[in-house]
Amino acid sequence: MPERREEFALPNDVVEQASIDTLRNVKIEITPSELVDLMKDADQALNGDSNDEEHDALYRIRRWMSEVVEDPDRRVRR
């Protein structure tokens, strides 16, 4: 039986809400340390020889971005 690949796609309502929030000048707060940690994770995976490491790092980054977008405490209107 072939391996089932997970499909990733942003739902249309998330894309539409992002456009509305952008027009309303909503910002999403992240700390510099959070961003640097993800960049270090990506660098380590990209500098390695394993495509699995790259995939795992990309998956972690994608999951983190979803969590950030969904967290109402990170949303600030400026």
Residue 60 belongs to a domain = yes
In a domain, 19, yes or no: no
Q: Is residue 9 domain-resident? A: no
The reply to whether 73 falls in a domain is yes
Domains held by the chain: number: 1
- Residue 65 inside a domain? The answer is yes
One-letter-per-residue 3-state SS of 15-71: HHHHHHHHHCCEEECCCHHHHHHHHHHHHHHHHCCCHHHHHHHHHHHHHHHHHHHHC
* Domain interval for residue 54: 31-77
Residue 13 falls inside a structural domain: no
Tell me what percent of the residues of the chain surpass a pLDDT of 90.
55
pTM over 0.85: no
Residues 30-45 have pLDDT tens digits of 999 999 999 999 898 8
Q: What is the mean pLDDT of residues 65-77?
A: 92
* Residue 73 predicted with pLDDT over 70: yes
Span 16-28, pLDDT tens digits: 999 999 999 999 9
